[in-house]
Structure 1
Amino acid sequence: MIKLDIAEVARRADIPASTLRFYEEKGLIASSGRRGLRRQFDDAVLERLALIALGRAAGFSLDEIARMFAPEGQPRIDRGMLAAKADELDRTIRKLTAMRDGLRHAAACPAPSHMECPTFLRIVRVAGSGALGGRRKRAMRAAER
């Protein structure tokens, strides 16, 4: 296994060394020792950092990502958690698509005023109901528990 110092890992992973130190504090990665004052990592850390980056891009928290690794460091990704995140992303995509389409309509709407446009007023009502942010739905689900 090839040893890399923290600066080389940071360069190859394109993340600051401070992020590497933070990930190490959180238990997401582990250094294999030191050369002088500089942390050393096995080159396998680059694959682990790529998995962490993928998880972050998908919207997982660092705590959720940490649970995706077994104590010995091998990935143990819960397929149910992946499916739930995919469902969450689908909901977000639908909300953002509706918002984008509404904004495009509002930008090109021939009505003299946006407040005279039925489509724009429908968007305003939906936004006012909390449906776009999901606050009301979450509050109602919490109240049902």
Structure 2
Amino acid sequence: MLDISELSRLSGFSASKLRYYEDVGLIRSVGRRGLKRLYENEVKARISLIALARTAGFSLLEIKEMIGTDGTPNLERNVLVAKADALDATIKELTSLRDGLRHIVKCTAENHMDCPRFQRIMRVALTKKKTAAKGHRNRPSND
């Protein structure tokens, strides 16, 4: 059995984050030692899965669906493939942005605003910002 401070130290998650994860049903304590919540050792695997999923960009609601009510992970392959595809798109976008910034550093134009590639990067950034804003307004919050 681990108390919340031990689990916090082992996982790197703050005690308040662990309490929040318990409140939303991602982890479950099995009792208390004084005022401290107690967890079974198996919760470490669950916390690791949560950390991996958050790093990959899954929302807490998506993670909750993956973990399931009994704590046994149900990792649907189609969901994982879709997230991997989204990560690929993000990597491509960030790589393009990085390359554009490196170009700007080396650009021979007297003013970056006169550089056609810089102009293109700014247009793309604005288009993506508009698209993201529209998507954000139409998507329910789940965190």
| TM-score (structure 1 length as normaliser) | 0.86
Q: Distance in 1 between matches of 2:130 and 2:49?
A: 29
1:135 aligns with 2:121: no
Match of 2:13 among 12, 15, 22: 15
* Alpha-carbon separation, structure 2, partners of 1:79 and 1:111: 48
Secondary structure of the 2:10 match is: helix
The 5 A counterparts of 1:1-145 are 3-128=1-126, 130=127, 132-133=128-129, 135=131
- Normalising by the residue count of structure 2, what TM-score does the alignment of the two structures yield? 0.87
Measure the CA separation in 2 of the matches of 1:86 and 1:9: 29
- The Cα offsets for residues 37-71 of structure 1, whole Å up to 9 and x where unpaired, read as 21110011111100000000000011100000232
For residue 94 of structure 1, report the CA deviation from its aligned partner.
Answer: 1.1
How far apart in 2 are the matches of 1:5 and 1:127?
46
* Whole-Å separation in 2 of the counterparts to 1:59 and 1:42: 27
Distance in 2, matches of 1:116 and 1:73, equals 57
SS of residue matched to 1:68: helix
